[in-house]
Amino acid sequence: MKKAYSLLELSIVLVIMGFIAFTFTAVIDSFLKVNRFKTSFQRLDVVESSMLRFLNENRGLPCPAGHDVSSNDTGFGEDGDSCDSSSVTEVCADAEAYEVAGVVVGYKGSIPAITLDLPTEYMYDGFDRRFTYFVSSDLICKNGVDINSGFYSNEDNLPIVYNKPNTSTSVYEYQKNAYVIVSHGKNGFGAYTKSGDKISTDSASSDEIENSDSDNEFVYNYFRPESMDDILRFKNKWQLMNDLEELDSTKRYPSEECNCSTGIDKFNDMCL
């Protein structure tokens, strides 16, 4: 005669199975989160390398693509042909302009993957949301104009990144950046989706709101997940110069096109 399980035994078995399922789900969720962050970092590496090649070829950084342009619309993933002096009537036409005292000092939008000769997947982070890309208006490729004056002057309104290492009032500033790229992390507050819709910031921290508003100030810190989970990449003008020299140390332009009074010997004879 077979003995049936008692209700108590069945209950114990169900509790154990539930615990195993809960633990397994948590492990899988953690693995997926780490993998998505890893994908974001890998794509940022590729994007920055492509931007450097673009700078080397065009003497300027690309305009952002429109962050609310649908993948089915004209201009998706493109910078508006800002380097083509024969057809451009408005610089960074699809991007969001940021002004100081009535003067445009920067543009904000999405990664112009198509302009950078990248697959459109590089417009998105590992969480399938669009990267935010802010670039100084002095350093973009615009109507064929040489950007040396932008590299060596007009620094007051370049993007600033604040690092908040703890919850105290101490803040470090990284100034004079040429560009800033943001992945809005797992929660995605302030990011644009693939369809071009902006995710609400109603539940976002003040730091995450700073990374999704329309000004040229940003915040990063990878050690305070309770405040933000955004990923930032940014480079100042001198970092770009160093990277450009490593990419192509023979790249030079005629001296009459240059304004290279940097005070640094290695840059004085190097023109973009």
Per the CB < 8 A criterion, the answer to whether 136 and 150 are in contact is yes
What phi, psi does 31 have (nearest 5°)?
-60, -45
In eight-state DSSP terms, residue 83 is T
Q: Which residues of the chain have pLDDT under 50?
A: 31, 252-272
Element of type H or E holding 53: helix 7-58
Residue 212: its pLDDT value, please? 92
* 40 CB burial (10 A radius; 0-12, 13-18, 19+): buried
Q: How many Cβ atoms sit within 10 Å of the Cβ of residue 20? A: 10
